[in-house]
Amino acid sequence: MRISKVAKRYAKGLLDFTQETGNTASVFAEMKDVVKVLNASSELNKFFNSPFIEAKKKISVTEQIFAQFSQTSRNIIALTIKQGRESQLKGIAQEYINNVEDLNGIQRISLVTATQLTQQNIEDILKGSSLVDHSKTFDIETSIKPEILGGYVLRVGDQQVDASVRTKLSNIRKEFELN
């Protein structure tokens, strides 16, 4: 997911505020919940993106959905909607999560495979990669995409290793076309 400049600015402001007030951990957990809710509900995304629904109604609905959140989290959600940036809410929450993880030295790792792997296989892939800093803790997200045919695609931060069969076949095809 590509994060916009707007989301980065809002997330940076939120992080600065939560560091001053000392509630970074609670807002971090709540922003993870925001991302989960927005990923799970296409209806809520449509609701936020509708230009026909006024901001007051959107704020009222989010106050009900996120009623257990801290005042800080509810305020950033309401501010985002008042400013007409509700379509950026998921990006703001994700960027805040990324910023907090960066502060805590946590690596974000994405592993895409063609089939389900065992935990041992995942650990072997991570151990064999020079991209993974084993002295740091990491948060790994695995996903299955059969279209890569086999192998894996490992992404750590902004670096990627593509060891998929699909890419290897594509490279062979290009070689044959050149020769």
Domain segments of the chain as ranges: 5-102, 105-178
Task: Tell me what pLDDT residue 105 has.
Answer: 83
Contact 83/6 with Cβ under 8 angstroms? Answer: no
Tell me how long the chain is.
Answer: 179
Q: What is the pLDDT of residue 4?
A: 82
How many angstroms separate the CA atoms of 48 and 38, rounded? 10
Tokens, residue 17: 């505020």
pLDDT of residue 31: 94
The pLDDT assigned to 140 comes to 87
- pLDDT score at 48: 87
What is the distance between the alpha carbons of residues 1 and 14, in angstroms, rounded to a whole number? 20
Query: How much is the pLDDT for 2?
Result: 67
Query: Which positions ≥6 away from 97 have C-beta within 8 Å?
Result: 28, 31, 32, 35
Sign of CA dihedral 17, 20, 26, 32: positive
Q: What is the pLDDT of residue 1?
A: 55
Q: Is the dihedral of CA 31, 89, 155, 118 positive or negative?
A: positive
Predicted local confidence at residue 156, as pLDDT: 87
Look at residue 97 in the predicted model and tell me its pLDDT: 92
Per run of 10 residues, the mean pLDDT along the chain (length 179 residues) is 83 93 92 92 89 91 92 93 91 92 87 91 88 83 90 87 91 89
Helices (H), 83-160: 89-103, 119-128
Q: Which residue type, as a one-letter code, is found at position 179?
A: N
- State the CATH architecture for 5-102: Orthogonal Bundle (1.10)
Range 76-112 burial, b when 16+ CB lie within 10 A, else e: bbbebbeeebbebbbbbbbbbbbbbbeeeeebbbebb
* Helix, strand, coil distribution of the chain in percent, nearest 5: 60, 15, 25
Both tokens of 102, joined, read 């960066």
